[in-house]
Chains A and B, each alone.
Chain A
Amino acid sequence: MTGRRDHREDAEPAPAPGQAGGGGPDAAPRSVGRRGLLSAAGAGILAGGMLGGFGGFAGGRASAEEPAPSDPLDRSYPLRGEHQQGITTPAQDYLFTAAFDVTTTDLDEVRRLMQQWLVAAEQMSTGDLVGGTPLADLQAVPRDTGEAWGYPASSVTITVGAGRSFFVDAEGRDRFGIAERMPEALADGVPRFAGEALQAERSDGDLVIQACADDAQVAMHAIRNLTRIAVGTAALRWTQMGYGRTSSTSTTQETPRNLFGYKDGTNNLKQEDGAEELGRHVWIDRADSGGERLAGGSYMMIRKIRMNLETWDRLRLIEQHEIIGRDKRFGAPLTVPDPTSGEDEFIDPDLAATEDGSPVIPRDAHIRVVSPHTNKGASMLRRGFNYTEGSDSLGRIDAGLFFIAYVRDPRESFFPILERMVSTDALEEYLRHVASAMFVVLPGVGAKDTMFGQALLS
């Protein structure tokens, strides 16, 4: 062995001075180093991978005797399971999503990418660095970029999907010889909607990775490293950072607020709704189009919606209430006459209620338009995040909602609801849809799988 390799600081992933305490001013103290977390995890991760199919709290180092860590920064979720992480996983605080254009024409190279992504994603899911322990070769480019070195797993999840253009190009030509495996929903594409001002370069894509975490830097680290791995095979098409999750996917979470100041997504599907309900609305079934290779996956529907904050902020409170259909303070539906607590939020809106002959919740109120009651029971699992991208040239804040929904078939649920929304929702006057994308999220990674999308690409 050579002398240079003996540098302990190169080999030992100890946190840099001053780093162990956390990456952000609002972060809780972090005493758990990555390696400590790992050794504690051990077999628990493996067991979690097989048992924790729903990616619940029971992942990572948690075991039957050991309750899930209460600090979300110490949580980790198993990558392997019946479904991918990051869908029913309790929504984290931060999002970093990236879409890629595949630049190779060789399916084997795509498979290799999916293998490399899987290895790296699994390592990062446990709070490890890409490539595990950093190699100490001073002449080599480090395999991991290092900005999450010493950070705990921070609930990071990595979710991979494929778009229509992964299967066929713009002219409909079979790109990799797997076009016949494309499910009908992707083949049909996304219809046009009123009020769209879509930017092509911020929309669509061949592949997508959604990274969520309770620490923005950990989410960034995931996307950055996966992007590096893809160089030469796939190139970034667009990215999106998000913060302040705008929905909750678990009953353990409070409903967050959107940038209009309202609690939105109260009626979201949640992991606690159970396999049957989620199977009906979220997961692709074996019997569905493409289901033989995609069962257990889902459709990831993305709409980037710019919100006209300044215009909204000039509305009287009563107007804001009537547009949303809820009270701003507690999130209670307007049919609750005098809301006094957060509990009121979960009272079912009485859409039939009238006062002086007019509906209490106006006909064009947001919650009425998107309610399952007015959409033949159609439901989606929402997982949106707020975004802010500086200001525009008119001095307005460039911000809004990066809306993500997971559905079993967008033609049954997402498109009809969106159509109703853009045509009848009073809220639309304050929104502009600036980007759109649809991906089929690949099924969960099986215990024996060596790549994302094993069934699709084998």
Chain B
Amino acid sequence: MTRTTLMHTVTRPLAIAAVIALAAAGCTDNPTSGANGAGTQAGAGPVGVTITDEGCAVASTQTPSGAVTFSITNEGTVPNEFEILASDKLRIVTEKENIGPGTTVELTTGLEKGDYFTACKPNMVGALVGVTPFTVTQGEALAVDEDIQKLRDEAITDYTAYIEDQAGQLLAATEDFRDAYLAGDTERAQDLYVLARRHFERIEPTAEAFGIEEPGDLDAALDLRIQDLSAGAGTAVTDPELLARWTGWHRIEADLFSDDEAFRFPDAASRQRVADQLVEDTQTLYDLVTGAQDTASGPFEVTLEDVTLGAGALMEEVATGKIVGEEETFSHTDLDDFQANLDGARVAYGNVQKIVETEDPDLAREITDSFAAVQEELSTHQAGEWEDGTPRYVDYSTIAAVQEDAGPAPKDSEYTDAQRSLSLAVTALADELAQVPAVVLS
């Protein structure tokens, strides 16, 4: 909620601002081409900067606003850093670190009209050297970048449509699932369990936020795990009273997949009741997404922030829940969820990908590579295909240390190499996706 509020107050349409933030947000290896193609008005030619161990000479102390390129030569004997500071000399607007002695590098950044300072910092530490006022005058009118704004609008429209589509497919598949399940067709129901849940897993961060009375209550009704319920109640996971309060996908999963009699429904009526409620709650989710019904905080609306954070959030789902196998503790279909989370992340990121490619091509390349790496890692555990041609995965408990029937969690030392490989690939991707908001939202 807070994040959404924040989003509304800070959204700024100026592409130039995104360019500045982008350049400033780089880690130790700032992108030098951040403004390329961003549609900003090019400034004058490159501003020469000559670094020595004692000095930091800028060839011109004035330039028109827009994309400004600095050509920085380090004539000193130690690696150095070039910084552009705001008028308070404290805030770094952008910087280029680790410029080796004898090398020349370029730094391109978007600068608005205003007073700045340039400075150097030998070895990237200690006091600033050669602090010099630098003035950016009004250049040609800075056109609001219509392309970027258009991309942002499209991202929201497309992602909203995607969520509606998945919610619709989820509803239809859930009805099929209920029918097979109540008809006693166990094998079909077990397959449909995976196939239906994929649609939920693809939009999980959005679905999790939903509630009619309060945010999240619908998610609890649909997707609560018995481990969490029992931890809250302080009772065993097989406690009959606890089980009677439990609804949603995982309640049925326990009945459908576990060998433990304790997880069976006590009678046909309670089985029917939970299955029907699953469909009913899914219908509500669909109604909320499509606007037929209001959420606890008003009509459902996707923000650019939702799109931007969605991809990262989905990968965090994988990193925290799927890798350790606690999500599907009875069915061990975690890898199918994993694939669905990955699909969802790819779509969410795909909606802002063009913005990232425009503003930070290096990051965009890294993310594309990392998506491929996670998919490749996942593919090593494929076991055939579903009827729609999508990959089907092995039982997770055959390759991973997992929690069985909501029992004891594996010890930290028990996780397998397969889990470690998956985890490393996901972490690398999540780390890169975490940089997307700064590029897209700033």
Cα-based distance from A5 to B97 in the complex (angstroms): 21
Q: What B residues does A137 contact at CB under 8 A?
A: 21, 24-25, 438, 442
The answer to whether B25 and A135 have CB atoms under 8 Å apart is yes
Q: What B residues does A116 contact at CB under 8 A?
A: 27-29
The answer to whether B90 and A11 have CB atoms under 8 Å apart is yes
* Cβ of B100 under 8 Å from chain A: yes
The answer to whether B86 and A119 have CB atoms under 8 Å apart is no
Contact of A122 among B25, B101, B123, B440 (CB under 8 A): B123
Q: What A residues does B413 contact at CB under 8 A?
A: 201
Contact of B125 among A122, A138, A140 (CB under 8 A): A122
CB distance from A7 to the nearest CB of B (A): 9
The answer to whether A448 and B79 have CB atoms under 8 Å apart is yes
* Cβ of B114 under 8 Å from chain A: yes
* Cβ of B88 under 8 Å from chain A: yes
* Cβ of B10 under 8 Å from chain A: yes
Cα-based distance from A353 to B24 in the complex (angstroms): 70
* Cβ of A358 under 8 Å from chain B: no
Task: List A residues 13-63 near B (Cβ within 8 Å).
Answer: 38-39, 41-46, 49
A-B contacts counted at CB < 8 A amount to 138
The answer to whether B370 and A136 have CB atoms under 8 Å apart is no
* Cβ of B205 under 8 Å from chain A: no
Contact of A1 among B95, B114, B122, B125 (CB under 8 A): B114
Task: List B residues 312-327 near A (Cβ within 8 Å).
Answer: none
The answer to whether B125 and A126 have CB atoms under 8 Å apart is yes
* Cβ of A75 under 8 Å from chain B: no
Given A135-B24, A141-B435, A39 contacting B100 (CB threshold 8 A):
no
The answer to whether A140 and B78 have CB atoms under 8 Å apart is no
Which among B114, B122, B370 has the greatest number of chain A C-beta atoms within 10 A?
B122
The answer to whether A119 and B12 have CB atoms under 8 Å apart is no
Render A128-163 as a binary contact track against B, CB cut-off 8 A, 1 for contact: 100111011111110100000000000000000000
Cα-based distance from A235 to B422 in the complex (angstroms): 12
Given A39-B127, A116-B27, A136 contacting B438 (CB threshold 8 A):
no
Q: What B residues does A79 contact at CB under 8 A?
A: 123
Q: B123 — nearest CB in chain A belongs to which residue?
A: A122
* Cβ of B145 under 8 Å from chain A: no
Cα-based distance from A45 to B112 in the complex (angstroms): 35
Render B418-441 as a binary contact track against A, CB cut-off 8 A, 1 for contact: 001000100110011011011011
Render B90-116 as a binary contact track against A, CB cut-off 8 A, 1 for contact: 111101011011000000000010100
Cα-based distance from A8 to B121 in the complex (angstroms): 22
* Cβ of B77 under 8 Å from chain A: yes
* Cβ of A112 under 8 Å from chain B: yes
Cα-based distance from A406 to B260 in the complex (angstroms): 56
Cα-based distance from A127 to B440 in the complex (angstroms): 32
Which among A103, A118, A122, A139 has the greatest number of chain B C-beta atoms within 10 A?
A139
Cα-based distance from A49 to B29 in the complex (angstroms): 23
Q: Which B residues have a C-beta under 8 Å from some C-beta of A?
A: 6, 10, 12, 17, 20-21, 24-25, 27-29, 53, 77-79, 81, 86, 88, 90-93, 95, 97-98, 100-101, 112, 114, 121-127, 366, 370, 413, 420, 424, 427-428, 431-432, 434-435, 437-438, 440-442
Q: Which A residues have a C-beta under 8 Å from some C-beta of B?
A: 1-2, 4-6, 8, 10-12, 38-39, 41-46, 49, 79-80, 103, 112, 115-116, 118-120, 122-123, 125-126, 128, 131-133, 135-141, 143, 201, 228-229, 231-232, 235, 447-450
- Would you list 9 pairs from A and B whose C-beta atoms are within 8 A, ordered by A residue? A1-B114, A8-B88, A38-B125, A41-B125, A46-B53, A49-B123, A139-B437, A140-B435, A231-B428
